[in-house]
Chain A
Amino acid sequence: MAHVHSKEKIIEAEQTLAKMAIVLGSDHLDKVFAAFQLANTAAASGIETVIYFTIWGVNVIKKGEAEKLSLSSDYSRYQERLKKGMEETRSPSISKMIMDAKELGIKFLACETWMALLGVKKEDLIEEVDDVVGYPTFTLIAKDANLTFFI
């Protein structure tokens, strides 16, 4: 995991068209899938993209968790249908989407406060995470984003 602390170092801007900041606060399969569809589309379109994993989103970047995600209990009746649909449409797994995201240069930031609230240590996180930061740092990074999403 890279340990960089200034905004300038976290965002090594290539030539980019715009900037997208996504706050992922969920570990539900549908939302995580949609977040990576959005992020990877943006990055593939030349948009500089950052994902901030906070609240339950912290679970997504814990080692070994990406393939264990499920739907919220409100939608659990759709779980089998969605899994079948993802197979039928040859949708990438969450692990594959994480690899693609990194290959496209998407920055992964983990929320320090929610890691502490949930008892998650730095060594519990996957190596694709670029840094562990607080909300103030993420705010600095996101303040000049043209596109922001809370998922």
Chain B
Amino acid sequence: LSKGITADIVIDVLGYMCPVPLVETKKALRKMQVGQVLEVIGDHSASLVEIPNSMRENGNEVLAIEKNDGSKWHMFILKKK
């Protein structure tokens, strides 16, 4: 979808507020292999700051964030460790 990035796993946290998007992101990443990409679909604006901060601290990489449909966003995260 975004710049040719293909997600291995997609989670939908539309309508959920903090800390649910971060909690669901972390739960999904725990089940994934290093090198896989997680796509998170949400609309809670604070998560656009909070999830990348947490990923940075924990050594994972936010590859891209797409916003083109109101408050809805797609975040692509590469599991690196």
Chain B interface residue count, Cβ-Cβ cutoff 8 angstroms: 16
Contact partner of A46 (CB less than 8 A), chosen from B17, B23, B58, is B58
- Report if A44-B25 is in contact (Cβ < 8 Å); known contacts: A89-B17, A91-B17, A92-B20: yes
Q: Select from chain B the residue with minimum beta-carbon distance to A103.
A: B27
Which residues in A have their C-beta under 8 angstroms from that of B23? Answer: 40-41, 44, 100, 104
Return the contact of A41 from the options B19, B27, B57, B81 (Cβ within 8 A): B19
Whether B17 contacts A17 by the Cβ 8 Å rule is no
Chain A contacts of B16 at CB under 8 A?
A: 90
Q: How far is the CA of A40 from the CA of B18 in the complex (A)?
A: 10
Main SS class of interface, A:
loop
Residue of A nearest to B16 (CB): A90
Known: A104-B26, A104-B27. A46 touches B57 (CB 8 A): yes
A100 and B25 alpha carbons, distance in the complex (Å): 11
Q: Are B58 and A17 in contact, CB atoms less than 8 angstroms apart?
A: yes
Q: Do B54 and A46 touch (CB < 8 A)? A: yes
